[in-house]
Amino acid sequence: MAFYVCDFCIRSGGKLTALFIGEEEMKKNIVGSVCGFFLLAIPVFSLAASGLYGSVNAGVSMATDSDVSWVEDGSSGTETWEYDSGYIVSGAVGYMIEKYRVEGEVIYQANDVDTVDSVSISPISIDTNALSFLVNGYLDFDTGGIMTPYITAGIGASRVEADIMGLLKFDDTVLGYQLGVGVGFAMSETVSLDFRYRYLGAAETEFNYNFEGSSGRSEVDIASHNITAGLTMAF
In percent, the amount of the chain with pLDDT more than 90 equals 64
Quote the CA–CA distance of 42 and 192 in Å, as a whole number: 10
| pLDDT tens digits along 8-52 | 333 344 443 333 334 445 444 544 543 444 344 344 344 445 899
pTM for the full predicted model: 0.77
Q: State the burial class of residue 57 (Cβ atoms within 10 Å of its Cβ: 0-12, 13-18, 19+).
A: buried
pLDDT recorded at residue 29? 55
Quote the CA–CA distance of 202 and 223 in Å, as a whole number: 6
pLDDT recorded at residue 73? 79
Quote the CA–CA distance of 132 and 129 in Å, as a whole number: 10
Residue 78 pLDDT grade (very low, low, confident, very high; cuts 50, 70, 90): very high
Are the C-beta atoms of residues 102 and 70 closer than 8 Å to each other? Answer: no
Residue 53 pLDDT grade (very low, low, confident, very high; cuts 50, 70, 90): very high
| pLDDT tens digits along 104-157 | 999 999 999 999 999 999 899 999 999 999 999 999 999 989 999 999 999 999
**CATH class of the domain comprising 50-234:** mainly beta
